[in-house]
Chain A
Amino acid sequence: MKRLGPGLILALVVGFAFLYLPILALIAYSFNASRLVTVWGGFSTHWYVTLMSNEPLLDAAWLSIRLAFVAATVATALGTLAALALARHGAFRGRTLFTGMVLAPLVMPEVITGLSLLLLFVAADVERGFWTVTIAHATFCLGFACIVVQSRLAGFDRSLEEAAQDLGATPFVTFWTVTLPLIWPAVAAAWMLAFTLSLDDLVIASFTTGPGATTLPMRLYSAIRLGVSPEINAACTIMIGAVAVAVIVASLLMKRDRLAGG
């Protein structure tokens, strides 16, 4: 390892300060006793208490969690299949189109994804609400899940699968008893990524939702438009905490997986 020069240390400090100071400030002011953003009125958990009696926000949070759970499960299942298709089924017909459709949602502006899915739902005349948002989220999270699983399949020892098949296992049994146990940390990480992406999404949900299905980001968005309040800071802090735990667990899973996989 080379010693870091002062310039590189400065780059690290400035870069990470820029990334983290705004979030740290937001967290700090959720514990502020004063309602004013610039005045520190002492440490208080008052805003967390008022948050717990904010029924619309809690309802929206519960809806978002259920929705993200279903969407992440569907996205991970489809994303794993897509990753298997890309990694194992070499040159099937329409592979270029398939790759394009898997990867495009990763960079597509959300307004376009949201608008296009809404037009589909209107044309198909389905009632918009929980399930339409779930389908929309599963579709845009699929690509992310696929990439995570694909990276694991790339470093995969195929001779294990071949051995199982030589010993008479059917492809389905082979997948269930050999492939899946070997790739599950990546599948779990893909699920968590899809879950947080769904939980965070405002734009696509706003387009594809219907009456009675207001997600947490939609609720937060309308609250934020009205102005800054420590109660929103408290809600954001809880979400940041949940995400931080999820990311740490996911990266530990991936790390253990790498150590086990050599």
Chain B
Amino acid sequence: MSARNAAARLGRLVVAVPYLWLLLFFLVPFGMVLRIALSDSATALPPYAPHFDGFSQLGEFLSGLDFENFRLLGDDELYWQSYLYSLRLAALTTLIALAIGYPLAYAMASVSRRAQGLLVVLVILPFWTSFLIRVYAWIGILRPDGLLDAALMGLGLTSEPLRLLNTEAAVLIGMVYSYLPFMVLPLFATLQKLDRSLLEAAADLGATPLKAFLTVTLPLSLPGILAGSALVFIPAVGEFVIPDLLGGPDTVMIGKVLWNEFFSNRDWPLASAVAIVLLIVLVLPLVLLQRARLARGEAA
């Protein structure tokens, strides 16, 4: 009996330790963001004046809630335009990554099992190298007189530098490049499990390869498309490093706005409000991701 009690205690510990860690370092910090988003900015250190100092003051807190930061986000064009811009750029990134990633994943799923393992490692390998290094690599390629210009002018295709660095195109290239593995891996996972005899059946019944693809392969790979798209779209919306290093003054994404509000303007309440709205924007793609994950779980 005591052994069983010990086992039960140990079992509770296994759950409790990571649970408490995550409550303390994941959930509580989110409460802090919300709390500070509803505070006034102050020039003191830390630069915010909290409205909420414990449950005894709950009534006072509720009456004194300050949505000023959120009103500012709505009133100032800079903020909602950079949200819209981030969403647009993330959507474009997702579409381009899908256009490049789907054929790649399809080809990977078509080779022998042995080669598949190697190709998966080859897709993952760049994901393991630093984000910063991959973005830096593109600076060397895209900058005026960089490798791309040298190659294009050397081949006589262009006569003057393209000046791609610090443009929206550069940000798109950098984001597609950085997030492509996130698109390819879920697509590959669903395409690999696809029962190829279904395609043979479609062909036997007279379907052209295109029709078989559209009516069999594409619908069956939909969970992979959804999961891959969400995995690219969600981090792309909040991206900071890529627009900062590859973009220019016109490519103001919301992650950069948050960074600037925090580090340059030292307006912590406003930065927190930006973070809260960003999270709300991401709820829908997160739900889609979860549903794609469940759908994949059922298929497996």
Contacts and interface: CB of A to CB of B under 8 A. Distances in A.
A111 B107 contact: no
A236 B130 contact: yes
A170 B130 contact: no
A244 B127 CA distance: 11
B26 A18 contact: no
Contact of A199 (B15, B130, B137): B130
A126 interface: no
20 contacts: A12-B119, A85-B18, A98-B19, A101-B23, A107-B234, A109-B282, A115-B272, A123-B46, A136-B25, A139-B21, A142-B22, A146-B18, A193-B128, A203-B241, A232-B136, A236-B130, A240-B133, A243-B125, A247-B121, A247-B124
Interface residues of A, number: 83
A38 B149 CA distance: 9
B10 A228 contact: no
Given A1-B111, A104-B26, A119-B29, A142 B21 contact: yes
A23 B137 contact: yes
Interface residues of B, number: 90
A196 interface: yes
Contacts of A206: 263
Given A23-B134, A239-B133, A78 B143 contact: no
Contacts of B135: 224
B237 interface: yes
Contacts, number: 234
Contacts of A262: none
A111 B259 contact: yes
B18 A26 contact: no
B126 to A, nearest CB: 5
Interface in B128-144: 128-141, 143
B136 A236 contact: yes
Contacts of A107: 230-231, 234-235, 286, 289
Contacts of A102: 18, 22
A94 interface: yes
B125 A22 contact: no
Contact of B112 (A1, A193, A228, A239): A1
Interface string A96-130: 01100110110101111001110110110000000
Interface in B144-194: 145-147, 149-150, 177, 180-181, 184
Contacts of A11: 103-104, 106-107
A85 B234 CA distance: 27
A101 B23 CA distance: 8
B17 interface: yes
Contact of A224 (B21, B245, B272): B245
Nearest to B4: A171
Interface stretch (A2-10, A41-49, A52-60): A2-10
Interface SS of A by simple majority: helix
B238 A111 contact: yes
A38 B161 CA distance: 13
B238 A112 contact: yes
Contacts of A172: 10
B262 A15 contact: no
A215 B239 CA distance: 20
Nearest to A82: B18
Interface string A203-238: 100110000000001001100110010001100100
Contacts of B268: 119
A111 B22 contact: no
Given A15-B103, A94-B19, A119-B32, A38 B146 contact: yes
A139 B240 CA distance: 20
6 smallest CB-CB distances across A and B, nearest first, come from A109-B238, A15-B104, A116-B29, A11-B103, A8-B107, A22-B137
A247 B33 CA distance: 36
B28 interface: yes
Interface in B70-123: 100-101, 103-104, 106-108, 110-112, 117, 119, 121-123
A38 B147 contact: yes
Contacts of A88: 11, 14
A119 B273 CA distance: 13
B6 interface: yes
Interface string B205-238: 0000000000000000000000000110011011
Contacts of B245: 224-225
Given A8-B106, A207-B262, A239-B133, 19 more contacts: A8-B103, A11-B106, A14-B100, A15-B103, A85-B18, A92-B15, A98-B18, A101-B26, A105-B26, A107-B230, A107-B289, A109-B237, A109-B255, A111-B255, A115-B275, A171-B6, A171-B10, A224-B245, A228-B139
Contacts of A105: 26
A232 B184 CA distance: 29
Interface string B31-63: 011001000000000100000000000000000
